[in-house]
Structure 1
Amino acid sequence: MIFKAFNKPQLIKYIISGTAISWFLGCFFILKGYGVEVEIAWPDALAFTGLFLSGIFVLELIFGFYIPKGTNSWLLIIIPLFLSFVGAAMHGFILKWLFVEETNYLDLLKNSFFLRWAFLAIPEILISVMALVVSKLELQEETQKREASINELSREVELNSIRQQLQPHFLFNSLNSISALVVSQPQKAREMVLQLSDFLRGTIRKDHKVWVSLKEELNYLKMYLDIERVRFGHRLHVQINSDESSMDMMLPQLIIQPLLENAIKHGLYGLIGEVDIIVSTFKEQNYLVIQIENPFDEESSPSSGVGFGLSSVNRRLELLFGRSDLLITCSKEGRFMVTLKIPQLK
């Protein structure tokens, strides 16, 4: 638990080795300062260092299984105090056995027991606190990962749900049109069924995560327009103006089709005669810009454009890019325009 604060195993080895050497040298020179002979000072420092490292590893084992929290937080102090007391007592026992005839050193050893206990206790208490901090950081990281995973799953589910709604919405409209044509114009109904089959075959198997080039997307739009022309005949005129530099730019599949469907719906609603819809695509800095312009009856057709097509595309953009400024609508003098901006990720 304590060493998890360091991600690299090699770094942990260096830290342990450096701590052991520093602790040994510190103890050795302190003893020398008190006049202890070298033959006694180095075994004392070595034993004290070994017991100090043993206390750290025992704490590592304990806190690897259990981190005291809440009302049990007092254990963060008691456990290191107990371990350091045992370490100081063992140190005194070992050194008394080794240097039983060195009376002056034994007096120093006896009188320095509480000082040695403090030397062991203070760093071990700090290590206990560090273990608690590492535990809280790990818990916070796990919570953040879990929340991110839940958000990502929710985002994918909603994206998939939106995409599944798009095709049935278009499919139901097409089937209603086919139903109306079966009796009056059976040949057109058959033609529309075949075109609808080709369109669905090319789109229904696509993964919603996969982006396509504008060129490929326009091919799907042309298939869609062939179906709509069967529905509306000579009344529907769609002009597609594509800047050559934008043809290889990428966008989420079938993100234009709901907007074009919306333009056709509102362009034909309440109007008599031919309806001209203009689709323009071009590159603007790091964006692929798509503009769809259609006429509308200001008295009969709502200009706000908050139907299924616009709302679904807007929500899809928010989920993909986390932005709500990529879809802009405006209306002027009987013309309604939708501007869609697709950021290029590469």
Structure 2
Amino acid sequence: MPALRTHNLLPTHHRWTKDFLHLLLVPRFVAQRKGAKAIAKPTKPKDRIKYWNIVPGDQVRLLGDKEGGIHEVHMINRFSNRVFLKRENVSADQSANSDPRKQNVSRQVPYSRCQLFCGNFLFPPAKGETEPQRLPVFATRLSTSKPFWHPILHRFEWKRYAVGTIPKIPGSTGLPEDRLHIPWPKPNGPRRVDPSSYDTLKDVVTEVTYTPPALPSTLDAPVPSPPSEQWYITTLRAPHAAEYDPSVPVEVHVAKELTNPHSRAKKQARWQAYQEYRRRLLTEMVKAELRDLQGRTRGIARAEATHKWKLRLEDERKAEVLRRWRHRGDEARLLRKKERKARRERKEDARLRNLVLEDAPNQVVPRARA
């Protein structure tokens, strides 16, 4: 099971139960981390809810709410058994007078105060009326099917049912087979916006700009040869020098240049090619030594061939290191450094040779060397 971290204690938008980390005891070092003070205080592990039936996207009513409004669940905190409700839209005057930093703060309530909204149902007409009335129904007691682990979606799944409702649905008998199934909320789809001048239109993206070359209809017909690389380079330098043919697969010439040489597949291919070269070189050198034994035994000849093979690989490695050193510019950088050092020494020597002292007291002219 993954380790418990500080971000696990935060409210979440996830609707599915993928693990039971919220049932673990919160360690002290996790609760004292930076940012943990803004998290609601976790409840005792024995009081936490294992399978949540109220998830983000559901509509609930709060017990004790005199207005009786229906709220949408925005987030949930499985460690503190708290449900975060979406903030209702405020008017323009209220938003202008209120603090803009607090407008998007969600209201949080305990899980036990929430009654799940089951939908609107038709009820018999009230006294003095003839038309049936449509009333909202809320679940007072919930039951679930046996949870099971979905191996493809990697989550626990179960169905939820309303055993008791308020008001009671007409015709319900209260038997287990007469329970009201409450579907899970569907996730909101991606928000679609009209493309602006900075976006690429769909017809431009889906436009086919490459036509595959026409293959011969019979097997006896000659296969058309692709254009040469020199022709492709000519078209790059002078686009109007050659006639453009969209069906010609000219991009095969730059496929190697456009691929990433540092990808894992390229590195693995180079390593495999080098290992094959090592094995082939050893086999050739052993065969060469065995053909000319010169009084040696086969074991000694094979040992000498192996020794020569190692020396050759070491020399090739040194040559490759030297080549890379020159290729990345270290040799030219060293030459420039030597030239700068020599130029500074020449300037210093010339400055000392051309140095002229002004006449001043306590000066002695040095003697000429014999």
* TM-score, with structure 1 as normaliser: 0.24
Report which structure shows greater RCO (CA 8 Å, sep ≥6): 1
Q: For the pair shown, which has the larger CA radius of gyration, 1 or 2? A: 2
Q: Which has the higher helix share?
A: 1
* TM-score, with structure 2 as normaliser: 0.23
